């Protein structure tokens, strides 16, 4: 009887420590900032903010708002014109090895003139144990403007999680 009680207590201790090790508390907010390249050749900057809204199994679920400002060459001006692109993404993320992998879908607009659906996939990690980190992602936007087009792009930058 004593052996059975000891075995049960050992099992509870092992399961409790395993649960404590795998349970993670995600940061609630993340600020994203970096460089953007739209359709591979239109350079720009990107600024976003996301909030973790829940978990789906082992994956964190976040909503992210993004403002990309890309430089569009103007045919009648020697200076490229800045074009603001506003979007929102629904991102699923989880740890793979030593980094966090994320991906999801999104919607957006070019100031109401054009609308798009998008897909994003990327990875992010922290600089050491602090709140600062980095990210890299690829994306594709399908817009209905001018008969529809698919625009690939990338974002590289830093994050601050709090």
By CB atoms closer than 10 A (0-12, 13-18, 19+), residue 63 is middle
pLDDT for res 109 = 92
pLDDT of residue 10: 42
Report the alpha-carbon distance of residue 90 to residue 61 in Å, rounded: 7
User: Mind listing the pLDDT tens digit of every residue in the chain (162 residues)?
Assistant: 334 334 333 433 433 333 333 345 556 899 999 999 987 668 999 999 999 999 999 999 999 999 999 888 777 566 678 889 999 999 999 999 999 999 999 999 988 778 999 999 999 999 988 999 999 999 999 988 767 888 899 999 999 999
- Domains of the chain plus CATH, in order, are 29-161 (2.40.160.20)
Q: What is the pLDDT of residues 148-158, one digit of tens each?
A: 888 899 999 99
Calpha distance 102→64 (Å, rounded): 12
Residue 76: the pLDDT is 58
What is the structure's pLDDT at 13?
Answer: 41
- Return the number of other C-beta atoms located less than 10 Å from residue 107's C-beta: 14
Do residues 49 and 28 touch, judged by C-beta distance below 8 A?
no
Q: Any idea of the CA torsion for 51, 56, 59, 61, to the nearest 10 degrees?
A: -20
Residue 4: the pLDDT is 34
CB of 48 within 8 A of CB of 36?
no
Instruction: Yes or no: say if 47 and 25 are a contact pair by the CB < 8 Å rule.
Output: no
Burial 115-148 (b: 16+ CB within 10 A, else e): ebebebebbbebeeeeeebebebebebebeeeee
pLDDT at site 49? 98
Closest of 99, 122, 129 to residue 46, by C-alpha? 122
Q: What is the pLDDT of residue 74?
A: 74
How far the first Cα of the chain sits from its last, in Å, is 50
Residue 158, token pair as written in the block: 């830093």
* Whole-number pLDDT of residue 24: 52
> Pairing mode, if any, of strands 59-72 and 132-143?
unpaired
């Amino acid at each position: 009887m004593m052996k059975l009680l000891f075995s049960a207590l050992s099992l509870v201790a092992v399961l409790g420590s395993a649960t404590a090790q795998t349970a993670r508390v995600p940061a609630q907010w993340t600020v994203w900032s970096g460089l953007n390249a739209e359709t591979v050749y239109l350079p720009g900057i990107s600024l976003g903010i996301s909030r973790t809204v829940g978990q789906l199994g082992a994956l964190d679920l976040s909503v992210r708002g993004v403002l990309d400002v890309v430089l569009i060459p103007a045919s009648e001006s020697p200076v490229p014109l800045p074009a603001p692109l506003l979007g929102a993404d629904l991102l699923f993320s989880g740890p793979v090895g030593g980094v966090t992998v994320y991906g999801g879908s999104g919607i957006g607009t070019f100031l109401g003139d054009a609308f798009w659906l998008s897909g994003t996939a990327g990875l992010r990690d922290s600089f050491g144990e602090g709140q600062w980190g980095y990210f890299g992602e690829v994306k594709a936007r399908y817009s209905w403007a001018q008969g529809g087009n698919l625009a690939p792009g990338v974002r590289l930058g830093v994050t601050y999680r709090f």
